[in-house]
Every structure is written in structure tokens, then in C-alpha cells.
Structure 1
Amino acid sequence: MLRSILALTTLTIIAGTLWITALIIHDRKMQRRFWGLFDLAPFGIALYDAIDGELLQANPSFTRILGSKGVALSYFDAIYDSSGKPKNSQHGVSSTLATHFRFSGLEGFFPIRNNAFIPIMLHGFRLDLQGKESVIWIIVEDISQRKEAERLKSEFISTVSHELRTPLTSISGALSLLTTNAVGELSGKAQQLLKIAQRNSDQLGFLINDLLDIEKLIAGKMDFNVIEFPVSEAITESLENIQNYATEKNITLNAQELSTTTVKADKQRLAQALNNILSNAIKFSPVNGQIRIWTKPHGQGLRIYVQDEGPGIAPEFRERMFQKFSQADSSDRRSKGGTGLGLAITKELMARMEGDVDFTSEAGQGATFWLEVPAA
């Protein structure tokens, strides 16, 4: 019995040793694979001490992108724009991770060699280990090529739009003269064809103007004349300008509870944003439908509400609602018309005027959009 107990004990020790050895070997293999991925990753990865912000480990891509920079976590707290000016509206990495354990998609320009600024996208998270000091992982992506591609695309669209605008103006002018019989009486068939041509010419003009507006807004080249005025004036003017379009679609515009509050904004740009919201509401409203417009105070500003009786907006489309060229259904662009730029332009316009735009909707029950404008 003693021999059996000793043999069993020996076998147990050997089996335990072999099991622990296998675990250690497996762990080392996983570590080698991890560090292989760490070293070969095409984007920069760095590990920082969460207490003093000291760089503990960085892969070759991190060094290739930032050179000798980034040896301390505080390097990522100063975020700049393309001209090298600090972006006061952005929170640094340290302050962000102090309240959130992770973040993603933080863009900005950072100084590297010779104080040249490059565009970088940051991702990071804080890892709290039990019984050990916390660490912070930072992932760095050099997005210079993407930004350059966006710049070239914007320049191309702007150049083409400008080159199209001059001949299109001449074409539209000539068509207007022909449709008003300024050069002589035309037959009914010719008049019908000319009206079709003029309608399509106008649509092309709207597209070109939208393209130019969105590119100006993104580039920060659009001027804003911010003044104080009663919000009801801008709403009334927008309703007058879009009344003919609503009449064509047999839509009733019902404006009520319009505040006389004085707001601080660019009157023309606010009217443009409101026109975009109203035209969308008319476009997707059923025949003989009604659109309600009203205002309501909200915080330090005022909201302008536009409610339609259309099909509503699916929840999965919410995140793309204000992106360029976005429409809920690819067939909408053909059946309803439009460029998919109106809401993107509205979003940029309101942001430049320190306002906001958003909506609430349930599929099949219409949508309610609102524009928020700062009170004077």
C-alpha cells in the first residue's frame, strides 16, 4: 500500500509538471504570436504607463510614423488643425481616458520631424490589471494618403462644378427666352419639349450649387454674416419661397406657434437650412398631406420643428442620415429626385452657426426634424 501511495503521488507530480510545462509552452507560443503581430502591424501601437504616461513599448510602425515623438502620453493631448493651430474643442487623450475607458476615431494633426504636421487618427483604451499598475494602449493611424485623396477629390468636384456652371447659365438663359416666346411663337409640341429641358437644366443647376456649397463648407471657405433677427422672419420667408413647390405636390404648409424670439445666426444660411428641411418634408409627404411648422424654446436657444406625414425613417439609417449622398433607398434618388446633399449641407450650416439639427421618427409614422438656433 505504501508503494502504491508513493507511485500514485509520483505519477500525480509528473502529470502536474507536464501539464504546467504544456501551459507555459502554449503561453510562450501565444506571446510570440502576439509580439509578431505587434511588430508587423501596419499601424502604430504603443503601450503607456497610466500613472506617469511614460512609453513602455512601441512597435516599428509607431516609430516610423512619429519618429522620436510620442515618448510620453501627453504628446497626444495637444491636437492641432491643418494650419497648426490648437483645436480647443477637442479633448486630449489623457482627459478622455480619465472619464472613458476607451475611445475611437479621434482625428487631428500632430507635429513630427522638423515640426511638420501630419493627419493622424487615434484609438485607445485603458487596461486596469488587478494587483498591477494600469496601462494605456494607443493605436496610431497615419491618414495622410486618405486626406490627400479627399483633397484631390474635392478639388476635382469644385473645378468641374465651376466649369459646368458657366455654360449651364447660358443654356438656362436661352431656354428661358425660348419658353417665354421672346424670339417668336413656338408650337405646343416645342413648348412642351423646352419645358422638359428647362426643368432638367434647373435640376442640374441645383446639383452644381449643392456640390459647391458642401465643398466650401468642408474647406471652411463659406462666409457667414451673423446678425440678430426675429426667427419668425426667416421662417415666413422660407415658407413663401417654397409655397409653389408645396402647391405642385398638393401639400399644405401649416405654420403655427411661431415665436418672435430674436436669434443670432446668418439669416440667409438659416433660411437655406430650413428650405432643405421643408423640401425634404414635401418630397416624401403623400399627396394632400400636411406639414406642420412650429417653434419652441430649448435651453439657451430656440428650435424650429418641421413635421411631415411621410413614410418615416428606418432606425438603421439614422447614423447615415446627415452624410453626403445618403438616401434611405437607392430608388429614392430616382423616384423622388434630389442629390442626397441637402441634409449634409444643413448639418454643416447649423454647426457653423453654433446650432444643431436632428430628427425623431418611427417607420410609417412620418418624421419630425428640428433646427436649433442660439438665442440672441
Structure 2
Amino acid sequence: MRALSRPSLQRHLFTAFLLVIGLSLALLGAARVVYVFLERIETRTARLGEVAEATAQMVSSFVNEHRRGIGSLAVAVEEIGGDPARMEQRLAEYHRRYPEMLTLIVTDAAGTIIASERQLSLGGGPLPQARGVSVADRPYFREVRARGLPYISDGFRGRGFGSDPVVAISAPWKTAAGAFGGVVEGSLDLSRLSEAKRIFKRLPRLLIAVTDRQRQLLWSGPVRLAEPLTRIGPTDGPPGRQLLGRAAVTGVGWEVTVRQPLRQIIGDATQEIWSTLALMVVAFLPSAVFAHRLARRTTRPLAELSSALDQVELGNPAPRAIPLPAGAPHELASIEQSTDRLLERLRASYDSLAKLLAEREASIEGEIRQRTHAERERDQLFLLSQDMLCIAGFDGSLQQINPAWERTLGWTHQELTERPYLDHVHPADLAPLLGELQRLRVGGTTIDFEMRLQTRDGTYRWLSWTAAAQPERERIYAVVRDVEARKKLDQMKDDFVSVVSHELRTPLTSIHGSLGLVLGGVAGEVPEKVRALIEIAAKNSERLVRLVNDILDIEKIESGTLVFRPARVELLPLVEQAAENNRAYAQQYDVEIRLSARAEAQVWADTDRLQQVLANLLSNAAKHSPRGGVIELGMTRTPGWVRIAVTDHGPGIPVEFQPRVFEKFAQADASSTRQKGGTGLGLSISKAIVERHGGRLWFETAPDNGTTFAFELPVPEG
């Protein structure tokens, strides 16, 4: 009777199951609400950035179109000469093409207006009483005259044009003799940015603002953020927290900001929150029914086991009974009573058998656990890996793949395993792939082999393979990584470096030449303190010119457009000339260049490119030589070849850096190399030049014992 008063095990289980289900639903609901809110914020922030970038591109296109128009108008003025009537006729023609210009003027070299035209909506024709007025004090005249380049002003209110802001766009024009003739200037009406209104119609809850370099408000919509030309900060706007998207207007230094109040996003997510709460309530009711049935089902076998134990006979295993804890369910008490009766009948024969069975069971269970654990870990690793894992055959079949293959290529598991993967390989990559398969077939390994596989949509993706094989089982085990994004990023980086280098080359050359003229006394005697500063500027501009030239050479080498002009040349005079040309550079580091060995040889070579190689090697040796040291430049002959070696007695190349010596931008110690100058491109360029001549470039080094860079060139017969 004591056992019947205990709490039911079924009630315990029901309560526990219900708590677990309720807490799980609450956590899942809360996680979903947080996820929805954060996802909305992330998506909306990205969208604001896209809107800002689109608006910035429209503004840039609008302004640059008129800047180009003013430039072409300046060219037309140069062709006309000094005829004001023809100038005003040309200004009127321009106005008809660009009605956004409020006024147009042409000045002479002194800043006096000699021709003008006003907007058609203002009556057209020359500006009243404008001819003969001086604008020499206006920034759009002063800046163009001082710099000789087109100019775009910050926003201002034009006289007689209301409160809308305008900007001045001006460009110089020259006389027939090439002298400064004056400027052509137009006042651009920024209220005519009509293209952005279509964005407002699609996204009416956004607030878009355009500011100039002084953070003056040039334009805002669909509602006015502040008075035009008011200085505003990035976070100014309606009260409350806001999401912000920003983008720069290319070429003019302006900025576009797009704002949206956070409360609007919260309002958008409210319906999702209420639907989640309703779903939790609806899911909880059947969960309670499920918990009750699960608890009842769990306790039923215990009662049945209690009944079965009463019928156990000798020879069957009989575990020892243990005392029940206080408050244990009555089902366990029933099991205890049945077990006690059974133990009285079977204990004599059970002890020895239980010991044997326990040992065997422990051994078997341990082995099963180990195997199960190993298989589970392997399966989980295979399924959850973000990399594409596979087991393939030498016949081109994919025998086992993980889900990453389907995510990356779009093919189903069945489509990938039924067709040979060779059918998906890009035609240009098939021959290199067959070479790698042959390497694996003889027991080799493949590391970071890159090739392209076709996706379901017909495009190709770059994949990097690392694989090993079991030739005796005809199997290949591979880890494949999607490197498409890295390939695109590398291409974007190369394109960016190429464009920037080309854009920098001309102004840097002009700056370097101008500084040289000033140091040469063209502008008069230069004070000593000023000379020191100009010399620093000249050296740094020369360094930048070398950097840009190196980058352009690398770009040409990689694109196969580097021009070579080979001729049959005597190599010894070229080597002697290189030593003489670089002697002054070496003296900056207190280092001597010594020609240690000479040999006569003629080669087919581009002399300028070989001088570039020797200059790179000699300057590199000078920078890494100890003060007072000697650089040995030697030239020797071998059958069919001529070898040139440059040896320094510096600290040598660190072991960990040696595999990357000829890589682009590679520097053993970026901090010290930067102090001594250098871009990390010279050795890469030199290696490419030598190889284009049919030779090879290598190095030999030892710690604290110097480094020798040597290259060989073929010597033509006869």
C-alpha cells in the first residue's frame, strides 16, 4: 500500500515534457522575432546604400555632362577667336542643348566679361549690362587662371535666381598663340536634378540629400531636409534613430545620404511578430497532447517489465536490486518487489554468469561506442563541411559527395553522381586536369589545383582542388573549395591597380619635372631651407614615378603586352654601363660596386630591359649591404650560356621568406624595406624579363653570409 501513495512517473514525465516543449517554443519564437528584425535592418541598410549609390551616379552623370559641355564650349571659343557676336551665338546654341544652365559668360584674360547668355526661361539673349563687368575676384576665374584646369564650385545662391542653389562650372580657353585667353563659365541650376524624382516615387519613405564639399545642402527630397546651403551633418534629419546609406559623387567631392527612420522598420516587422506569437500558441496545444501521450507510452513498458520479471527462471540474468529513493514513482516500487522475489530464486547461479556477461558486454559496448562515434563524426564532418568533399574514381565518376556540391553548382546529387565530372569541366581546363589525374594515378598529390566546372545555369565556377589517391582502390579523396569570389576580387584588384597607375603617371611626371626645374634655378634662386623641402618632394615624386612604372610593367607582363626590341648586342659594355649608372645610388648607402669578373659574349636582347634588370639587382644589393661594403658584379661564360651574378654581403634572405622572393609586392621585412625604399616588384619584373629572353633568374643565400642573384642568357651560335 505504501507504493500506491507515491507520485505517478507518468505525471513526472508529462510535466517535464510540457516544460521542455514550452521553453523550446518560447526560445524559437524569440529567436525568430530577433532574426526577422535584424534581417529587416540588414536588408534595408543594404538597400539604402544601393539607393545612395544610384543617386550619386545620377548626380555625377548630371554634373559631369555639363562639365564636359563647358569644356567643349571653351574649345569652340578658342576656334572662334575674339569675336563677341560669334561667341554669343555659340553660347545660345549651347543653351538650347543644356537648358539647365542659368547663365553662360566668356571672359578675357583679365576677367572682364566679353560675351554672355542667359537661360531661355529667363528671356534668352545676352545678360543685361554684363559686358565689360569684371569677375576677376570670383573663385571660378581665380582657380582656373591659377591652375589652368576646369573648376566646379561649391553651392551658392545665384543673384536673381531665387533660393535654389547653383554651382559654377568653368574652364579655360586659350588664344591662338597658346596663352591664357580667359574662362568660359556656366551657372548650373541644381533644382533640375529631375532624374532622382523617380526614386522618390518608388521609395516614398526615404529622405535623400546631396551635400557639397563644405557639407552644404544642395538638394533634398521628397521633402526638404533643411534650407538650401545649410550645413548639415551625416546624422542630421528627422528626430529618432535612423538607418543611413552614403555614397560619394565621383569627380566633384559631393556626397549623397539616404535616411530612413528605424520606427518604420519596426512597424513593418510588427505583423511578423504577432503572427509568430499566434503560431506559438497554436503549436502549444497539440504539443500538450503529444507530451501526455509520450509520457503514458514511456511508463507502460515499465509496468510490463515488472510483470515479466515475476516469471524469470534460472539461467536468465538477474541484476541486483537497489533501494528506491524517497518519492520514487510507484512503478519503480513494483519493479523492486518483483526483482527481490526473482533474486531469491536465481542469485546462486547468477553471480558467476553475471561477471562473465558484464565483462563481455563492456568490451562489446566499448567497441560499438568507438565505431559509432567514429562513424558519426565522419558523417557529420562530411555533411556539415562548407567545403566540397568527394570520393571520386579514376574513371571520372563522383562516388560520394556532400551537400556543398549541390549548393555550389546547382546540380542535384543524382545528376552529379550519374554523369562523369569530366563532362562538366571547362574545355580549356581539361588537359591540365588529365595531367593532375595522371599524377594522382602514380601516387602523387594535388594541392590547390584550380579549374572550372559548369553549373546548372550554364556558367562556370573556379574551384580549387586538394586531393590524394589510393591507386590500388582506384579512388581519389578530394577537398574542393569555391574560389570564384577570390578570382573576381583578384581581377578587380588588377583592373583597379592598372587604372590608378595610368591615371597617376602623367601628373606625377609633370610634378617631378616641375620640381627639377625649380631646383635647376629656372624660377630663380631657391632659399636653402626651401631647397631642402623641394629636394625631399623631388625624391619622393621620383619614388612614386618608379612605383607607377613598376606597376605598369607588371600589368603589361601579366597581360602579355610588354614590348621587347631585341637586337644583337655586346653584353660586357652593357654590364659596365649598368655598374656606372648605379654607382651614385650605391654611394648613398656607402657601398661600392666592383666588377669582379669579365667575359666577352654577344646575345639577342633588349638593352633597356636588361639595364632594368641589372638596376633592380644592383639597387636591391645596395639596400641590403652593410655600410662600407662591396657589391660584386661578375660575368662568366658557360657552354651556350652567359651568366651575370650580383653578390652582396648583407644578412641574407630569411628561410621563411625565400619561397616568396619573386612574388609581387613581396618584402622580407615590410617596415625596414619601406624605410630604405622599394615596392616589392623589382624582382618579379626582373624574373619575367629574363624569362622572356629565354633565360632564368635565381638566388643563393646563407644567413649572415650575403646573397647572390644570378641570371643566365642563351648565347646564339656563330
Smaller-chain TM-score range? 0.7 to 0.9
1:107 matches 2:450: yes
Aligned counterpart, 1:172: 512
Aligned counterpart, 1:189: 529
Question: C-alpha displacement at 1:7, in angstroms?
Answer: 8.0
Q: 1:203 to 1:359 in 2, by over 3 A?
A: same
1:122 matches 2:462: no
Question: C-alpha displacement at 1:310, in angstroms?
Answer: 1.5
Aligned counterpart, 2:688: 348
Aligned counterpart, 1:240: 580
Question: C-alpha displacement at 1:276, in angstroms?
Answer: 1.0
Q: Specify the SS of the correspondent of 2:563.
A: coil
Tell me which of 696, 700, 708 is aligned to 1:368: 708
Alignment partners' CA distance in 2, 1:110 and 1:259: 53
Alignment partners' CA distance in 2, 1:347 and 1:372: 11
Alignment partners' CA distance in 2, 1:115 and 1:356: 41
Contact 1:48 1:73 in 2 (8 A): no
Q: Which residue identity is paired with 1:137? A: Y
Question: C-alpha displacement at 1:74, in angstroms?
Answer: 5.4
Tell me which of 581, 594, 597 is aligned to 1:254: 594
Q: 1:357 to 1:184 in 2, by over 3 A?
A: same
Superposition map of 1:9-88 within 5 A: 11-12=355-356, 15-50=359-394, 52-66=395-409, 67=411, 71-72=419-420, 85=428
Question: C-alpha displacement at 1:367, in angstroms?
Answer: 0.9
Alignment partners' CA distance in 2, 1:8 and 1:101: 57
Aligned counterpart, 2:310: none
Q: Specify the SS of the correspondent of 2:386.
A: coil
Contact 2:449 2:465 in 1 (8 A): yes
Q: Specify the SS of the correspondent of 2:449.
A: strand
The number of equivalent residue pairs is 364
Deviations 1:188-224 (A, max 9, x none): 3333332222112111111221222223333434234
Alignment partners' CA distance in 1, 2:700 and 2:689: 20
Question: C-alpha displacement at 1:57, in angstroms?
Answer: 0.9
Deviations 1:346-374 (A, max 9, x none): 23333444433221212221111112334
Tell me which of 308, 318, 321 is aligned to 2:661: 321
Q: Specify the SS of the correspondent of 1:322.
A: coil
Deviations 1:82-129 (A, max 9, x none): xx646978872212213443221122444555764432211100136x
Aligned counterpart, 2:625: 285
Contact 2:397 2:421 in 1 (8 A): yes
Contact 2:498 2:555 in 1 (8 A): yes
Q: Which residue identity is paired with 1:143? A: V
Computed over aligned residues only, the root mean square deviation of the Cα atoms, in angstroms, reads 3.3
Identity of aligned residues (%): 33
1:199 matches 2:199: no
Alignment partners' CA distance in 2, 1:61 and 1:15: 44
Q: Which residue identity is paired with 2:397? A: E
Alignment partners' CA distance in 2, 1:20 and 1:338: 68
Range with greater deviation from structure 2 (66-75 or 316-325): 66-75
Q: 1:97 to 1:291 in 2, by over 3 A?
A: same
Question: C-alpha displacement at 1:283, in angstroms?
Answer: 1.3
Q: 1:39 to 1:242 in 2, by over 3 A?
A: same
Aligned counterpart, 1:136: 476
Question: C-alpha displacement at 1:267, in angstroms?
Answer: 3.9
Q: Specify the SS of the correspondent of 2:631.
A: strand
Q: Specify the SS of the correspondent of 1:92.
A: helix
Q: 1:150 to 1:307 in 2, by over 3 A?
A: same
Alignment partners' CA distance in 2, 1:324 and 1:258: 32
Structure of greater Rg: 2
Consecutive unaligned residues in structure 2, runs of 5 or more: 1-347
Q: 1:370 to 1:149 in 2, by over 3 A?
A: same
Contact 2:429 2:451 in 1 (8 A): no
Question: C-alpha displacement at 1:324, in angstroms?
Answer: 2.8
Aligned counterpart, 2:260: none
Q: Specify the SS of the correspondent of 1:313.
A: coil
Contact 2:690 2:697 in 1 (8 A): yes
Range with greater deviation from structure 2 (358-367 or 190-199): 190-199
Aligned counterpart, 1:310: 650
Contact 1:73 1:94 in 2 (8 A): no
Alignment partners' CA distance in 2, 1:330 and 1:274: 23
Q: Which residue identity is paired with 2:659? A: E
Consecutive unaligned residues in structure 1, runs of 5 or more: none
Contact 1:62 1:140 in 2 (8 A): no
When the two structures are superposed, what TM-score results if normalisation uses the length of structure 1? Answer: 0.83
Q: 1:304 to 1:288 in 2, by over 3 A?
A: same
Alignment partners' CA distance in 2, 1:234 and 1:62: 57
Q: 1:46 to 1:233 in 2, by over 3 A?
A: farther
Question: C-alpha displacement at 1:63, in angstroms?
Answer: 3.9
Q: 1:195 to 1:137 in 2, by over 3 A?
A: same
Contact 1:255 1:292 in 2 (8 A): yes
Alignment partners' CA distance in 2, 1:115 and 1:302: 51
Aligned counterpart, 2:550: 210
Deviations 1:314-372 (A, max 9, x none): 22221232233332223313431222222232233334444332212122211111123
Q: Which residue identity is paired with 1:350? A: V
Question: C-alpha displacement at 1:235, in angstroms?
Answer: 2.5
Contact 2:389 2:480 in 1 (8 A): yes
Q: 1:251 to 1:105 in 2, by over 3 A?
A: same
Q: Which residue identity is paired with 2:366? A: A
Contact 1:359 1:367 in 2 (8 A): yes
Range with greater deviation from structure 2 (182-191 or 109-118): 109-118
Range with greater deviation from structure 2 (55-64 or 223-232): 223-232
Contact 1:44 1:63 in 2 (8 A): no
When the two structures are superposed, what TM-score results if normalisation uses the length of structure 2? Answer: 0.46
Alignment partners' CA distance in 1, 2:653 and 2:489: 32
Contact 1:309 1:366 in 2 (8 A): yes
Q: 1:141 to 1:302 in 2, by over 3 A?
A: farther
Aligned counterpart, 1:161: 501
Alignment partners' CA distance in 2, 1:363 and 1:311: 6
Question: C-alpha displacement at 1:138, in angstroms?
Answer: 1.9
